[in-house]
Amino acid sequence: MKKLLVVLLSVFLIGVLIGPAPLLAARHDGVEDALEQGADRMVSLQGTYGGVPNIWEWIIGSGISGNNILGISATGLVAAYEKTKDRRYLAAAIAAGNTLVARYNAAIVGGVTWDDRPYSQDVEFLAWLSRESKNPVYGDVAVKWHSIIPAYKTAAENVNRYISRGSLAGWDLALQIRAALAVGQKDYAKAVAAELIRRSADWVGNTNPYGDLTILSYASLLWALDQVGDNQEVISQYRSALLTTQETDGSWDGGAYQTTAYAILGLSANKGKDVKKALDSAGTFLVSSQADNGGWVYSDGSEYGEENSEVLMSLAALLKGGDITNIHKVKLSHKERGEHREKHKHMR
């Protein structure tokens, strides 16, 4: 009898310790598998379009691309590498980074101007790539390139540039805020955030040719404002807006992959009441809607390289470990900081 009790107890303990594991593993592997399949898809799609090497098409299969999507399309691969350590993803991201470095080096010949300014998503990407690749060149270019922006535009002037875009202004300026944070320009980031919030009436709820994109803006800003500090009342407002507008299938904006990805990134950075449930539902939506080819394809057959990358970033944020939603800041020596401050001063 005693031996039987020992056996039964052993079986019970094994059941307790091992029983739930398949369910937990399935949830984890569902996201991780989707991340790896999506990253594989992006590696396979990287090519030369419009004369630009190491880039992705905006609409997959169109043969058309643009300089403004190179950095953001490669960022998902850095996120995938951070979680999986698959060096194929890092190699593809490095190739994109090298194209951006070459673009910067070509732009500064004869002195930089406002027209030579970077896309803010490229600055974010280069800062993150610098950390993961352990190559300071990418971070150095991110800092130097970004310095053009505050040298030519105050925070208020920069905000004013985007307000005419209506509800998309928040999304655009969230990129500006995160780019400034990535290169250590926290005061500039805070000033942009404060001015954007002050002018909320000029963009919140205002439609543009793409419709009302306020929720997309809230999602991206929620991620950015978490790193700025202050603005807790606004952060709470944006978080509540996201939680109350989530669709029953776990998505946002009627199944928009981009909005859903940024909602995950914003909510992951802030947490708060009911956030875990919303994130679980959003993760289920993205995993279940992944196409057989590894990308995220809409019902009309359209697939976007940029959005695939943003989904990869959000899936990486759902996995434990790492700090996907932290702004990846460039680290400079005291000497380098002094040189950049001096250069910034003379550019005015």
**What stretches in the chain show pLDDT beneath 50?**
1-28, 333-335, 340, 344-348
CATH class of the 36-347 domain in this structure? mainly alpha
Q: Tens digit of pLDDT for each residue in 122-137?
A: 999 999 999 999 999 9
Phi-psi region of 274 (alpha: psi -120 to 50; beta: other; left: phi over 0): left
Q: Report yes or no on whether pTM surpasses 0.85.
A: yes
Q: What is the pLDDT of residue 273?
A: 79
Q: What is the pLDDT of residue 15?
A: 38
Contact 28, 20 (CB under 8 A): no
Alpha carbon distance 265, 130 (integer Å): 21
How do the domains of the chain map onto residue ranges? Answer: 36-347
Q: What is the pLDDT of residue 207?
A: 86
Cβ-based neighbour number of residue 64 at 10 Å: 10
Q: What is the pLDDT of residue 331?
A: 65
